[in-house]
Structure 1
Amino acid sequence: MHFKVPHKTTKTEAKQKVKDSIEQARPHLQGQVEINKEEWQGDTFHFDVNLQGKNVTGTLEVTEMDIILNAKLPLMWRLFEGRIEKEIAKQVASLT
């Protein structure tokens, strides 16, 4: 899955909002998501998680104009890729 959502702020502010959003989501995801890896390298967040027993890996990059998500979804979830993109885009739009 690959898509980008424009943000209406500076890259620094957008990155901080993404970081804050990830931290705010943690308590709600406990018991549902197992985090194998998460790390920032510059302006790119790398993640590897198990969600409902399925592995999801990818990156979330913050650029001057956009937030770009690249993720490898399990085969079963690819059927719902459009719906997943729409929900994530809505969440990202609420950050900016």
Structure 2
Amino acid sequence: MADPVVVDIPHKLGRDAARARIAGGVSKIAEIVPGGGHVEQRWEGDTLHFTVSAMGQQVASRLQVFDNRVHAEVDLPPMLALFASKVREKLAEKGAKLLK
């Protein structure tokens, strides 16, 4: 498996407000995966684990919420690893908009 796509997204919302925004907008974040469809999600403390079904593949992701940033990791299967730079770009863009 390729290295995960990693992005740190700064914010000024505080941990609780950032977590609430993410909880309400996880479907928008899932749009970063090409061909993404069904989303499964669960919270463990301040970390959101979600999986997106895309092109017959499962894309596992984690968003860890801190007071001033969100640390995101997306594990792309080999078939989707070709899109890593695009996923990184979209994640940074959509994440920043969500946390504004």
Partner Cα distance (1:61, 1:70) in 2: 9
Among 4, 7, 10, the alignment partner of 2:14 is 10
Contact 2:7 2:91 in 1 (8 A): no
Correspondence list, 1:1-96, <5 A: 1-22=5-26, 33-35=37-39, 37-95=40-98, 96=100
Q: Give the TM-score normalised by structure 1.
A: 0.80
Highest Rg: 1 or 2? Answer: 1
TM-superposition CA deviations, 1:42-87 (whole Å, max 9, x none): 1100122311211111211111111111121011222221111111
Amino acid at match of 1:14: A
Structure with higher helix content? 1
Task: Mark the runs of 5 or more structure 2 residues left unpaired by the alignment.
Answer: 31-35
Task: Mark the runs of 5 or more structure 1 residues left unpaired by the alignment.
Answer: 27-31
Report the 3-state secondary structure (helix = DSSP H, G, I; strand = E; otherwise coil) of the residue aligned with 1:76.
coil
Cα distance change of structure 1 residues 39 and 65 upon mapping to structure 2, 3 Å threshold = same
Aligned-pair identity (%): 26
Contact 2:49 2:63 in 1 (8 A): yes
Q: 1:9 Cα deviation (Å)?
A: 1.4
CA RMSD of aligned residues (A): 2.0
Structure 1 residue runs of 4 or more that deviate by more than 4 Å after TM superposition = 23-26
TM-superposition CA deviations, 1:4-53 (whole Å, max 9, x none): 11112111111111111126779xxxxx5223x42101110012231121
Work out which structure has the larger RCO, using CA pairs closer than 8 Å and 6 or more positions apart in sequence: 2
